[in-house]
Amino acid sequence: MRDLIAKDIAAVAKIDVVPRILEVICRTTGMGFAAVARVTEDRWIACAVRDEIAFGLEPGGELELKTTICDEIRASGTAVVINHVAEDPVFRDHHTPAKYGFQSYISTPIHHNGAFFGTLCAIDPRPFDLKASNALATFEIFAELIGSHLDAHQRLERSEAALLGERESAELREQFIAVLGHDLRNPLAAIAGGARLLRKQPEPEKREFILGQMEHSVTRMAGLIDDVMDFARGRLGGGFHVDQRPNAEIEKALEHVLAEFRSAQPMRAVHAEMALDQPVACDSRRVAQLLSNLVANALTHGAPDQPVTVRAVTTDGRFELSVANAGDPIPPETAKRLFRPFTRASDDPHQQGLGLGLYIATEIAHAHNGTLSVTSDAAETRFTFSMPLEVA
């Protein structure tokens, strides 16, 4: 709710004519304080203010709703005009003039998209003959103008968001086609080449070698397709689905991932520090996938002669999993977009993969009500996943 009200205040601030409207109100009525207020069921907030009587309220300032007449205007939907509080049979004993010390008052509703938004109001400690003048008609015109500007501002925001979404979608489509075409073409070509060689190769040992290479290419293609499917679920299906289970066998799942990397790359050192002394409610398969993506990233971009360090702990009601490696730091500009789809940490044209690993890891983190962050300097690059121990 607070974010919505802050957005409403910002929307009024963007209407260039509002300060001029408040100035004209004060000059034509003689009153010293005029404001545009956002009025909800429980709050009165000043969006724009002209104060010539030291009332002491600034944009963003609040009055207790029940102490204002605007609360009654919100309920009735009709304007209120008071020439002289002391002589007014309805408002001479009203608590609002007594609290704020005014004698003249005028306020009219502002509507935004057909609904009550707030009020355009003015007060002064001196009485003024507002009912005999065209003050109310002027206020109503200005209130309608402000409401029209708010409607137009919202339509513009929606149009800009839709346009930005279209641009992002078009960019993603182009990246998807280009990267997918490039990365799938290589293993597919390897399989095709292996098939041709098998037709010509009678020697069993060489046939086994070729079949092994073809199986490796198939495995790589399967991994790429899995990433594409996860990407599609994240972008088109409203996010990742995770099966969070209490007391998940998370340590066993993490150790299995590390064992696979140590077996596949025995020349690289992968160290692990586990201190999981509290149960973790998570989808262990998905968290293992997150770890796999982070370790693969560290082995690809980290210094080959330095170890990759994995640390998993439960502390202060949270589960934290981090992967660190030595090597060149990630440039700040690259770090800003690192978790976007089809983004790679380096521009090496020979680098394999779709650039979806960190994006998928981020989606898995968000699905667990967690976060995935990165810090990188000359000493190390560290990715850290943090989530609550229990399901929210």
pLDDT tens sequence across 208-245: 877 877 776 676 566 666 666 666 666 555 566 778 88
Identify the pLDDT of residue 348.
52
In-domain check, residue 366: yes
In-domain check, residue 241: no
Indicate the burial class of 349 (C-beta count within 10 angstroms; 0-12, 13-18, 19 or more).
exposed
Identify the pLDDT of residue 349.
47
Residues 383 and 315 both lie in one domain: yes
Residues 119 and 170 both lie in one domain: no
In-domain check, residue 244: no
Residues 289 and 364 both lie in one domain: yes
Residues 106 and 181 both lie in one domain: no
Assign residue 378 the CATH number of its domain. 3.30.565.10
Assign residue 89 the CATH number of its domain. 3.30.450.40
For residue 7, count other CB atoms closer than 10 A to its CB.
11
Residue finishing a domain among 111, 132, 156: 156
Separation CA 359–CA 173 (nearest Å)? 16
Note whether 360 and 354 are within 8 A (CB).
no
Assign residue 170 the CATH number of its domain. 1.10.287.130
Residues 74 and 121 both lie in one domain: yes
**Which three-class secondary structure state does DSSP give residue 207?**
helix
> What's the angle, vertex CA 307, arms to CA 256 and CA 216, rounded to 5?
50
Kindly give the parts of the chain with pLDDT less than 50: 349-350, 353
Residues 225 and 265 both lie in one domain: no
Identify the pLDDT of residue 350.
47
In-domain check, residue 186: yes
In-domain check, residue 223: yes
**All residues at 6 or more sequence positions from 233 whose CB lies less than 8 Å from its CB, including other chains:** 239, 240, 241
* Alpha helix (H) residue ranges in the chain: 2-13, 18-29, 70-76, 95-100, 135-200, 204-236, 250-264, 284-301, 332-336, 357-367
In-domain check, residue 23: yes
In-domain check, residue 243: no
Residue finishing a domain among 236, 265, 286: 236
Residues 335 and 378 both lie in one domain: yes
In-domain check, residue 383: yes
* Number of domains comprising the chain: 3
Task: Using alpha carbons, select from 240, 191, 192 the residue that is nearest to residue 220.
Answer: 191
Residues 127 and 145 both lie in one domain: yes
Residue finishing a domain among 129, 156, 183: 156
**Which three-class secondary structure state does DSSP give residue 120?**
strand
Its domain, for residue 204, covers 164-236
**Which three-class secondary structure state does DSSP give residue 219?**
helix
Separation CA 96–CA 81 (nearest Å)? 14
Q: Beta 270-275 vs 115-124: how paired, if at all?
A: unpaired
Query: pTM for this structure?
Result: 0.49
Identify the pLDDT of residue 61.
92
Residues 152 and 49 both lie in one domain: yes
Residues 278 and 201 both lie in one domain: no
Residues 48 and 137 both lie in one domain: yes
Residues 261 and 352 both lie in one domain: yes
